[in-house]
Amino acid sequence: MQGAALRMRVSHRLGQGLGAILALFAGLLVAAEIVVLLAGVCARYFLARPLIWGDEVASILFIWLAMLGAALALQREEHMRMTAFSNGLSPRAREFLDKFALCAAIAFLVLILKPAFDFAFEDMDIATPALEISSAWLSMALPVGFTLMLIVALLRLIGSAERGVALAALLATALGVAAFYAAGPHLPALGNLNLILFFVVLFAALVFAAAPIAFAFALATFGYIALTTHTPTTVIVGRMNEGMSHLILLAVPLFVFLGLLIEMTGMARAMVAFLASLLGHVRGGLQYVLIGAMYLVSGISGSKAADMAAVAPVLFPEMIARGGKPGDLVALLAATGAQTETVPPSLVLITIGSVTGVSIAALFTGGLVPSAVLAVALIVVARWRYRNEDLSHVKRATAAQVLRAFVIALPALALPFLIRAAVVGGIATATEVSTIGIAYAFVAGLVFYREFRWARLPTLLVETASLSGAILFIIGAATAMAWALTQSGFSTALATAMTHLPGGAPVFLAVSILVFVVLGSVLEGIPAIVLFGPLMFPIARQIGVHEVHYAMVVVLSMGIGLFAPPFGVGYYAACAISRVHPDQGIRPMAGYVLALLIGTIVVAAIPWLSTGLLK
């Protein structure tokens, strides 16, 4: 017993020490990103001398932030998992699955470590264009991050109180990996059946075993590439790097930090107080505010995760204080993520225009009404769910109170308009605009609300790094899976089958909704559009479906898949941002998903909703 206690104590202290180091460096990286991007905005706008090296430095810092943040999230046990199944088991069985999930993560990290170092070493002789330094400064983040995650996972496993359960889980994982490798020579003969084996059976097994979603994506992709193709596994590392280092995703940690800052400075309370004065006396009023707020800010950052991060911290505390259930709130947040996919400026719509030749201006115009239709559907569900909300303690605000609340909230309410004006006016990119919001929040907190607490800044930076790392690691793993599906030839086969459907446009649209809901659950919107857009849009034109109308149906359908549990990546991003366990939102999400489906069917059935505003 003394030996076990010593083992647990030592591993716990080592884990805490490593966590403190990760927190320090990850927090500093968040601060450095903010400084570099804000300096770039100031240099370009005020001095008319853009920092040529700014984007390059930001990219290097960002990939290191993503990997160190992912390691920190693993140490803090903040990676998203789906434990609805395991929670219904006996305590011992649940303990086994918890350890099995950890061992699955360890298995992937062990398998990916050599390819990750090989990938980094290949970049050593390549110089970056602006700084003219080795590209290994960027690519080395992945093997270092994987190594740190492996150490964190091993320390957690060694420090387990149930040593026998941990060893059993480790043995089961080793046997599973060995079985797949033993079957390896026979798998190529199965052809596309391997897609079902790895991306359905294995992936679903890992998800329901409560493995972190990112590691379930990554392990299924690694198995498929390593055992059924001749593609080097370094490609997986490259695709994960590409998925996590996209500059537009820089908005994710910055908007996460902005959301925390808004809450800390008192801006959040001021906004909620004003919104509550308008709709607080209405049943489900703040739910309507959430739907409207997402419509307002959607697309500003270019990242749906960043949009949610800008809204949730502002509204959720007051909504919970008024009796809202966290599970229902995160379900509504995820649903609004799907609902606002067509609100311009939408990165998905820009991508559709670039790969299909459809006018981006037409897509932006056509996207406004379909999103509003889905908003109405969500409002109906929210109204029904909160029809019995107890408002006996809530008094309707007088005109004077509303006016006073508006004046107090005005500096905070100006923020989303400032952000959108900065993007539209060309002052800042969608990535840089979040730094303007952060600078504005600093000033507003210090000058207007005077609730700025400097001592909390380190905590906010660390929380931002951990949450961002968990989200970005999911995106990186999903990007690798999307690439693997592309290479399998699955996309070409699907397009061929769609061409020969009977029933004309109505059947084509109905099948498209089904197909893109499924694709949205396993692919991010942009990879799916790049993959299937050039194939599907010519078919739509051929059978007489307006391309803008078809784009709205496709984007909304993919949004439903992306934000619907148990597989939708966006749903887990919403849970991570809201700090709500995924299990709590699955049941209430069903009603919102049904509303989104009905709204999408209405949009598909009435082309005018997508094309009526076009000239």
pLDDT tens, residue by residue, 87-118:
778 888 888 988 999 999 999 999 999 999 99
Domain extent for 89: 2-245
| CA–CA separation, 341 and 570 (whole Å) | 12
For residues 213 and 569, the answer to whether their CB atoms sit within 8 Å is yes
In 10 A of CB 581, how many CB atoms?
Answer: 18
Asked whether residue 188 is assigned to any structural domain, the reply reads yes
Residue 567 above 80 pLDDT? no
Structure tokens at 405: 């609340």
pLDDT band at residue 441, thresholds of 50, 70 and 90?
Answer: confident
Residue 434 above 90 pLDDT? no
pLDDT band at residue 415, thresholds of 50, 70 and 90?
Answer: confident
Residue 178 above 60 pLDDT? yes
Asked whether residue 457 is assigned to any structural domain, the reply reads no
Beta bridge mates, 234: none
| CA–CA separation, 478 and 27 (whole Å) | 25
Asked whether residue 140 is assigned to any structural domain, the reply reads yes
Where do runs of H (alpha helix) occur along 432-524? Answer: 433-443, 457-487, 490-499, 504-522
Which of the residue ranges 33-47, 194-208, 285-299, 532-546 has the most confident prediction, judged by mean pLDDT? 194-208
For residues 604 and 553, the answer to whether their CB atoms sit within 8 Å is yes
Write the pLDDT tens digit of every residue in 505-540. 888 899 889 988 887 876 656 666 766 777 788 888
Write the pLDDT tens digit of every residue in 273-332. 787 788 767 777 778 888 887 887 675 555 677 677 767 777 787 778 777 788 888 899
Asked whether residue 362 is assigned to any structural domain, the reply reads no
Residue 445 above 60 pLDDT? yes
Asked whether residue 590 is assigned to any structural domain, the reply reads no
- pLDDT over 70, % of the chain: 91
Number of domains comprising the chain: 1
Asked whether residue 97 is assigned to any structural domain, the reply reads yes
Q: Could you tell me the end-to-end alpha-carbon distance of the chain, in angstroms, rounded to an integer?
A: 78
Structure tokens at 143: 């093997």
For residues 196 and 86, the answer to whether their CB atoms sit within 8 Å is no
pTM for the full predicted model: 0.78
Residue 191 above 70 pLDDT? yes
Quote the crossing angle between the two packed helices 285-297 and 326-339, to the nearest 10°: 40
Residue 425 above 70 pLDDT? no
Asked whether residue 208 is assigned to any structural domain, the reply reads yes
For residues 521 and 199, the answer to whether their CB atoms sit within 8 Å is no
For the stretch 324-339, what's the b/e string if a residue is b when 16 or more beta carbons lie within 10 angstroms of its beta carbon? bebbbbbbbbbbbbbb
| CA–CA separation, 67 and 142 (whole Å) | 6
Asked whether residue 168 is assigned to any structural domain, the reply reads yes
Looking at residue 261, what is its pLDDT?
A: 82
Quote the crossing angle between the two packed helices 582-605 and 569-578, to the nearest 10°: 130
Where do runs of H (alpha helix) occur along 322-393? Answer: 326-339, 347-356, 360-366, 368-385
- The string of DSSP codes covering 197-252 is IIIIIIHHHHHHTT--HHHHHHHHHHHHHHHH----THHHHHHHHHHH--GGGGHH
